[in-house]
């Protein structure tokens, strides 16, 4: 009897269905416990975070970096006429409206955890067209157990129609929950600590700037209680800039607080750095700290985050609006893809100039580097065939001939070599200290003014004079 292969038994024979699901749920729970426990479930309670200048500043950086990106709609197959046609159609729909504003409004879903955009359809020439996308208040929506979108703005739960809303969630750690977990959740405590710290900081500054009246009385006096009340009244009068008198023996003095602001300032700086780390992934593009190299590296961290935001928005658009417009209007085509260009456009002219400068020093890029920088396929140019040297009378002379020109060229190369090697050493050092090719080009431009040309000019001048004199000597010898 043969034993069935376990791998064969595990092979699916039909489409899978979900099995690891909870069957006793009555509603989908919010991932954000801060939202439910401290803000009463009101998602718009996170708006108060934007009153903090650091939060609003770094979030503006992240949004500006996204909305300035150039968008493109690419066909599924550029060689398929139907795919190209639907890509051009979708691109034309985006041109009909202020799509940058729509993207910016939908981008707030990264901050709050979810975004809801109501799609306004139109009909033109028998085709469904995109009239507008109205980004709605996310706090008035929720999801049922079937992940259908529910509107709660009218006091009752209303199930929204299909293919009417462009939605996405951000920050969730599973695919089971459609609510997401936005940046606001992680900003809540740093902002709260910072605001509380500033409150105490202001109170401390007020106490340090003003004096507190302080009085002493004799508790052994038979009229101690009356003396105490009279002294308190006198101290209050002093605080209110009024004149007063006290019994004999009572002492009044002014206590001045100490101005200690270091701990408050450090805590605020720490919270600002925490806020920048949450939103931008680093602190150097939000504060003027660090060197140029570190700033470039951390700016790349921010760029990676912006690219992730762009991919999230585009992917959600491609799964909804792009698919719907294609299936309704071009049923035989495949949906196009909307993407935001996050790669920096290279300045090919500056790059070519840099390579030309390097070539003059005896270096050249590899073929792989050229193809990476300029695209396409490259191959070496064929070398021109060498022409035979013209016959010379010396060729017919017997015995060895003078090789004065060869000797002079050898000496010229020998005298130039140390200076050329010094140049190459300096350039190699700059290349080793450069993080990017662009940075090396800038360093090379700055170094050009420091490389000595006077020495080269002097050597060539002496060599030219020597060659001239040698030529005159040869001519005079031949005619003698």
Tokens of 52: 């903090």
Instruction: Judge contact between 144 and 129, C-beta under 8 A.
Output: no
- 132-156: pLDDT as tens digits: 999 999 999 999 988 999 999 999 9
pLDDT of 395 reads 43
Number of DSSP helices (H) and strands (E) in the chain, helices first: 15, 10
Instruction: Judge contact between 325 and 86, C-beta under 8 A.
Output: yes
pLDDT of 5 reads 59
pLDDT of 292 reads 46
CA dihedral 468, 474, 479, 480 (to 10 degrees): 120
- 259-285: pLDDT as tens digits: 555 577 888 888 899 999 999 887 765
Residues 6+ apart with CB under 8 A from 221: 227, 249
Which of 51, 289, 22 lies closest to 177 in space, CA to CA?
Answer: 22
Helix (H, G, I), strand (E, B) or coil at 159: strand
Positive or negative, the CA dihedral 12, 13, 16, 22 is: negative
pLDDT along the chain (480 residues), means of 10: 62 85 80 89 90 94 92 95 96 95 96 96 96 95 92 94 96 87 94 81 63 71 78 74 58 59 77 91 61 52 89 96 97 96 73 76 77 72 54 43 59 68 74 72 72 67 70 64
């Amino acid at each position: 009897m043969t034993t069935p292969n376990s791998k064969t038994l595990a092979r699916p024979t039909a489409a899978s269905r979900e099995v690891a699901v909870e069957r006793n749920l009555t509603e989908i729970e919010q991932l954000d416990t801060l939202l439910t426990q401290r803000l009463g479930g009101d998602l718009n309670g996170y708006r108060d975070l934007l009153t903090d200048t650091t939060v609003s500043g770094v979030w503006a950086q992240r949004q500006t970096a996204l909305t300035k990106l150039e968008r493109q709609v690419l066909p599924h197959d550029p060689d398929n006429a139907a795919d190209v046609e639907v890509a051009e159609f979708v691109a034309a729909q985006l041109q009909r409206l202020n799509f940058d504003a729509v993207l910016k409004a939908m981008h707030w879903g990264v901050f709050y955890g979810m975004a809801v955009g109501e799609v306004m359809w139109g009909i033109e020439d028998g085709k469904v067209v995109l009239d507008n996308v109205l980004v709605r208040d996310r706090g008035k929506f929720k999801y049922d157990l079937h992940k259908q979108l529910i509107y709660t703005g009218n006091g009752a739960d209303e199930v929204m129609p299909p293919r009417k809303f462009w939605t996405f969630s951000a920050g969730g750690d599973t695919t089971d929950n459609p609510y997401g977990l936005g940046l606001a959740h992680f900003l809540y405590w740093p902002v709260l600590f910072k605001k509380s710290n500033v409150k105490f900081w202001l109170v401390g500054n007020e106490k340090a700037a003003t004096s507190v009246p302080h009085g002493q009385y004799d508790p052994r006096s038979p009229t101690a209680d009356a003396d105490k009340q009279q002294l308190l009244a006198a101290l209050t009068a002093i605080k209110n800039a009024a004149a007063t008198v006290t019994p004999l023996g009572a002492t009044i003095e002014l206590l001045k607080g100490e101005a200690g602001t270091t701990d408050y300032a450090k805590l605020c700086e720490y919270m600002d750095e925490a806020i920048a780390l949450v939103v931008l992934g680093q602190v150097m593009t939000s504060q003027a700290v660090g060197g140029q190299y570190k700033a470039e590296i951390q700016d790349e961290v921010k760029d990676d985050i912006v690219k992730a935001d762009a991919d999230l928005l585009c992917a959600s658009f491609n799964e909804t609006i792009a698919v719907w417009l294609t299936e309704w209007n071009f049923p035989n085509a495949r949906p196009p893809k909307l993407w935001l260009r996050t790669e920096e456009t290279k300045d090919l002219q500056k790059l070519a100039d840099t390579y030309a400068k390097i070539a003059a020093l005896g270096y050249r890029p590899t073929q792989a580097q050229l193809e990476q920088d300029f695209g396409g396929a490259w191959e070496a140019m064929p070398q021109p065939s060498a022409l035979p040297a013209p016959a010379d009378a010396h060729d017919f002379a017997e015995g060895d001939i003078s090789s004065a020109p060869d000797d002079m060229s050898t000496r010229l190369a020998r005298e130039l070599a140390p200076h050329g090697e010094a140049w190459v050493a300096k350039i190699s050092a700059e290349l080793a200290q450069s993080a990017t090719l662009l940075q090396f080009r800038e360093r090379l431009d700055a170094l050009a003014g420091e490389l000595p040309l006077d020495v080269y000019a002097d050597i060539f001048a002496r060599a030219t004079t020597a060659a001239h004199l040698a030529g005159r000597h040869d001519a005079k010898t031949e005619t003698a």
